[in-house]
Chain A
Amino acid sequence: MLAIFAPRLIRTAAVFVLVTVGIFGLTALLPGDPALALAGENPTPELIASIREQLGLDRPLYEQYFGWLLALFSGDLGTSLYFGVPVGELIIARLPVTLSLTLVAVVISIVLGLAGGMVAAARRGTIVDRLATVLSTIGIATPNFWFGMIFIIVFAFGLGWFPAVGYAPLADGVGPWLAHLILPATALALAGAAELMRQTRSSMTDTLGQDYIRTARAQGLRPAAIYWRRALRNASIPLVTVVAFQVALLLGGVVIVEKIFGLPGLGSLVIDAVFSKDLPVVQGVVLVNAIIVLSLNLLTDFLYTLLNPKVRHG
């Protein structure tokens, strides 16, 4: 197991180093004097000097990078130029909102995607299958924030079932928490659900055509048993990858949905940071996101190996 994973770990570490170079390099993209560019509309000499010092702009570039990286490993993501507090604190305060949203979205996406895909595969060629395909095609093509806007119009303003904006922490109870998350999470989940439905359908269709399924059928196993115990298990191998990929996509997709639903998560934070040119915050959020995505990729590889004996013993 370790022999399989050692190269992957090393590669992930190398990719991570490159990611940090890239994120650090965002500062270098600033036109002209970065300190001046970051200081905003009415820069005072003190502000410019303090930014220059914070970013270490008077030192050579590689020194700046290693200083930044060293601070990073001790958990110091820098100080927000706008809020004046450590970026790490800002991110930790906002992270639960984004994780809650992503979690609910992933659950919705998996439930809809798996159910839709399995039904479509079982009823292949029927009107149900067609409908599933059409819906998934529409789901993939529609911007998630437009779904969000329509949900607000219909379910918040029209029917009044859910609040249109805001967030309730889990500490207030599961009910209010979920009520605030269900619309944005569904808006976010539909594209992923559509993708998952397609994958599940084709994966199940492939598996159901295999010889051992025919054998199981010939032996008189109940169709439900074949479907759930044998087919789904094998079809689930490629699905693991898709689900992990979905989580990564969702994290990237939350930005505008959070803004629309007034959710105080990482997405709203990064939007505000982009508008106030609060580069340390932007860098911090991008970095946290990259860490989550890289860890997920590694975890997927691991699960894939575990689930698939061919890879495990190959």
Chain B
Amino acid sequence: MSAITKTEVIATLAGSRPTRGRFVQRFRRQPIAVGALGFLLLVSAMALLAPWLIPHDPYQQDLARVLQTPSGEHLLGTDELGRDVFSRLIMGARVSLLAALQGTTLAIAIGLPLGLVAGYVRGRVDGAIMIVTDALMALPALVLAMAIVAIWGPSLTNAMVAIGIVTAPRALRLVRSSVLQIREETFIEAARSIGTRSIVIVLRHVLPNVVAPLIVFTAILAGTVMLMEAGLSFLGLGVQPPESSWGAMLGTSFRYISRAPLLAIYPGLAIALTVLALNLVGDGIRESIGKKLQK
């Protein structure tokens, strides 16, 4: 019998992680999650290919034909400046999705490393990180983001940095609580007892086990971020004209809500469906990962 290596021992103790194949199998058995994923892929493709898909120039004004109802030429009608709503909706997908991606990435980039450190190191470091987290969570996220944007000046980048900062504590908490569970497992103890360095344990053994719950959380966080971006852009604190996100379109449509109520329907529906799809995909992933992680 050959000598058993460290990695082998730990891998054995780590138990059988659900393999990728089984995950896909489980996910495919959920028609709602699959449908939601399909919808998200469709919206993403639409956003990527927007310049080639739009029937009209989304910035082309036509003041002779403002606030028109849907017609053969303008599928969803025209807005207050006579621009084609359908084309603007497709271009808006680009801005909204990119914004959600930026905000979510930043929140995870802040929350993941700090959560890993807080959960694994514990002690005073954990105490300090958590007290700052609690303080941030006591502040109203949207208002805080508004204040930051007001100070830096309204722009989509500033809005997304602000949203990333105010949502980071949620990511941090999730990562920390996952780490707290995992660090008590036998395979971590084994790694520690044979003198593996902390940084190696965290990166090679803790991190992979945090990934699954983090992916579920990320899908749901992306939805939250999207709702917040919509709110800020609605108020005119996000993306600046002539560029437009779905939230910004809602904002302008509100001014014409009595004359052209339909204008308020499309972008709102787009936001709600996309966030819904993100949540459903998140749920689907949660159902598809191992039982242990579902808790």
Residues of chain A at the chain B interface (Cβ within 8 Å): 11, 14-16, 18-19, 22-23, 26, 29-31, 37, 137-138, 140-143, 145-146, 149-150, 152-153, 157, 251-253, 255-256, 259-260, 270-271, 274-275, 277, 279, 282-283, 285-286, 289-290, 293-294, 297
Contact = CB atoms under 8 A, between A and B. Distances in A.
A178 B148 CA distance: 34
A15 B138 contact: yes
B268 A143 contact: yes
Nearest to B149: A274
Given A18-B132, A140-B279, A153-B264, A274 B237 contact: yes
Contacts of B151: 26, 29-31, 37, 277, 279
A289 B143 contact: yes
15 contacts: A14-B131, A26-B147, A29-B151, A141-B272, A141-B276, A141-B278, A145-B231, A149-B253, A255-B140, A256-B235, A270-B143, A270-B146, A279-B151, A282-B150, A286-B143
A9 to B, nearest CB: 14
Contacts of B141: 252
A143 B272 contact: yes
A255 B135 contact: no
Interface centre among B150, B227, B258, B280 (most CB of A within 10 A): B150
B230 interface: yes
Given A22-B136, A270-B143, A153 B235 contact: no
Contact of B268 (A23, A146, A255, A290): A146
Contacts of B144: 286
Question: Which secondary structure dominates chain A's binding surface?
Answer: helix
Nearest to A266: B143
Contacts of B111: none
B250 interface: yes
B28 to A, nearest CB: 20
Interface of B: 131-132, 134-136, 138-144, 146-152, 223, 227, 230-231, 234-235, 237, 247, 250, 253-254, 257-258, 261, 264-265, 268, 271-273, 275-276, 278-280
Q: Top 10 A-B pairs ranked by shortest CB distance? A: A252-B140, A146-B268, A141-B276, A18-B135, A274-B150, A141-B275, A142-B272, A153-B261, A290-B138, A15-B134
A294 B134 CA distance: 9
A278 to B, nearest CB: 9
B223 A149 contact: no
Nearest to A288: B140
A290 to B, nearest CB: 5
Nearest to A17: B135
A286 B261 contact: no
B272 A157 contact: no
A11 B134 CA distance: 10
A19 B138 contact: yes
Contacts of A283: 147
A285 B144 CA distance: 10
B279 A149 contact: no
Contacts of B273: 141
Interface centre among B134, B140, B271, B279 (most CB of A within 10 A): B140
A71 to B, nearest CB: 20
Contacts of B231: 143, 145, 255-256
Contacts of B235: 256, 259, 271
Nearest to B265: A150
Contact of A138 (B253, B254, B276): B276
B194 to A, nearest CB: 36
Given A11-B131, A275-B150, A255 B143 contact: yes
Nearest to A253: B142
Contacts of B136: 22
A18 B150 CA distance: 22
Given A14-B131, A140-B279, A143-B227, A149 B138 contact: no
B148 to A, nearest CB: 7
B132 A149 contact: no
B250 A149 contact: yes
A276 to B, nearest CB: 9
Given A259-B235, A274-B237, A19 B140 contact: no
A30 B149 CA distance: 10
Contact of A19 (B139, B272, B279): B139
A152 B268 CA distance: 14
Contacts of B131: 11, 14-15, 18
Interface centre among B148, B227, B264 (most CB of A within 10 A): B227
Contacts of B271: 142-143, 146
A226 B223 CA distance: 39
B237 A146 contact: no
Nearest to A282: B147
B138 A294 contact: yes
B280 A22 contact: no
A190 to B, nearest CB: 11
A149 B254 contact: yes
A72 B51 CA distance: 53
Given A138-B276, A293-B138, 10 more contacts: A18-B135, A19-B135, A30-B151, A31-B152, A141-B223, A143-B227, A143-B271, A146-B264, A260-B254, A293-B139
A141 to B, nearest CB: 4
A289 B150 contact: no
